[in-house]
Amino acid sequence: MNELQRQFPDLPDWEKLYQQQQVESMPWYNPILDTDLEQALKKLKLERGTILDIGTGPGTQAIALAQRGFRVTATDISETAIAKAKNQAQAKGLNIFFQTDDILDTRIEGKFDFVFDRGCFHVLPPERRQTYVDTVHGLIVTQGYLFLKCFSHLETREGGPYRFTPEQIREVFGDRFQVISIEETAYQGTLDPPPKALFCILQKY
Ligand SMILES: C[S@@+](CC[C@H](N)C(=O)[O-])C[C@H]1O[C@@H](n2cnc3c(N)ncnc32)[C@H](O)[C@@H]1O
């Protein structure tokens, strides 16, 4: 049994997981800004603006984005994840708006310049994907970007999140977003080797 299967024979009860485990030992824990997002921000020359980090978990990405000057809202379905992430941000003196929230039944209002999703979409039930697309579409300004990182179909470990081909991403998001790019990459965290991933840049029509 590999590490992903050991921790997630099925998709986890997120709240229980964050109550029981140190975030630093979770497979997705990455203390620095995701390198694919970093490159995308550089390429698109994005240095300021509002960003929603969906499924923020340990909050490392929200923190790294706030440190770069973005105005960050960070949400997660787990109250404990939000509490832990909030502590980290406060300790660093950062002003991030954290809220416990289910993206499939969101209470978040307003529109953001960007949305980042590093690992939330790929754990959602397939039958709820359209709700996700419609919700996220409604949370972004016209021409705003959705940066999406998910497991790739090339990842062969058993267990863990759903995997996607670039064609599937186009199929799910294509009606509502222009697909700017979909790159094969890796999901940096605590697993070795890191899982194979897709990094997608999608722009709201
Ligand atoms: C793979 S983890 C990634 C965490 C974080 N984005 C990171 O990269 O460190 C997925 C996260 O999505 C959260 N999540 C799962 N379902 C969700 C939902 N319906 N709405 C909001 N967050 C959700 C989980 O609690 C978990 O923190």
Q: Residue 3: is its pLDDT beyond 70?
A: no
151 falls within a domain: yes
Number of domains in the chain: 1
Question: Does any domain span residue 41?
Answer: yes
Ligand 1 mean position to 28 CA, how many Å? 10
Closest ligand 1 atom, residue 78 Cα: 25
Q: Does any domain span residue 143?
A: yes
Residue 104 has φ and ψ, to the nearest 5°, of -85, -5
Distance 5 CA to ligand 1 centre (A): 17
- Residue 155 within a domain: yes
Residue 2 pLDDT class (50, 70, 90 cuts): low
Q: Does residue 195 line the site of ligand 1, with CB under 6 A?
A: no
pLDDT (0 to 100) of residue 159: 87
Task: Say what the pLDDT of residue 182 is.
Answer: 98
Residue 9 located in a structural domain: no
CATH code at 192?
Answer: 3.40.50.150
The answer to whether residue 154 is domain-embedded is yes
Q: For the segment 91-125, what is each residue's pLDDT rounded down to a tens digit?
A: 999 999 999 999 999 999 999 999 999 999 999 99
On the question of pLDDT at 72 being above 90, the answer is yes
108-144: burial string, b at 16+ Cβ within 10 Å, e else:
beeebbbbbbbbbbbbbeeeebeebbebbbebbeeeb
Q: Whose CA is nearest to atom 4 of ligand 1?
A: 57
pLDDT tens for 124-144 read 999 999 999 999 999 999 999
C-alpha dihedral (50, 101, 62, 170), degrees to nearest 10: -70
Query: Ligand 1 centroid vs 10 CA: distance in angstroms?
Result: 15
User: Which positions ≥6 away from 149 have C-beta within 8 Å?
Assistant: 34, 36, 37, 117, 118, 119, 185, 187, 197, 198, 199, 200
Q: Determine if ligand 1 sits within 6 Å of the CB of residue 119.
A: yes
24-61: per-residue pLDDT in tens?
Answer: 999 999 999 999 999 999 999 999 999 999 999 999 99
Whether 130 is in a domain gets the answer yes
Q: What is the pLDDT of residue 10?
A: 66
Average confidence score pLDDT of the chain = 95
Domain span holding position 138: 14-204
Please indicate, yes or no, if residue 83 is contained in any of the structural domains. Answer: yes
The pTM for the full model equals 0.96
Q: 120 CB less than 6 Å from ligand 1?
A: yes
Which helix (H) or strand (E) segment is 143 a member of?
Answer: strand 140-152
Q: Report the separation in Å between the CA atom of 82 and the middle of ligand 1, taken as the mean of its atom positions.
A: 10
- Among 26, 82, 120, 135, the mutation site with the greatest number of ligand 1 atoms within 8 A of its Cβ is 120
- pLDDT for 146 beyond 70: yes
88 band by pLDDT with thresholds 50, 70 and 90: very high
pLDDT surpasses 90 at 1:
no
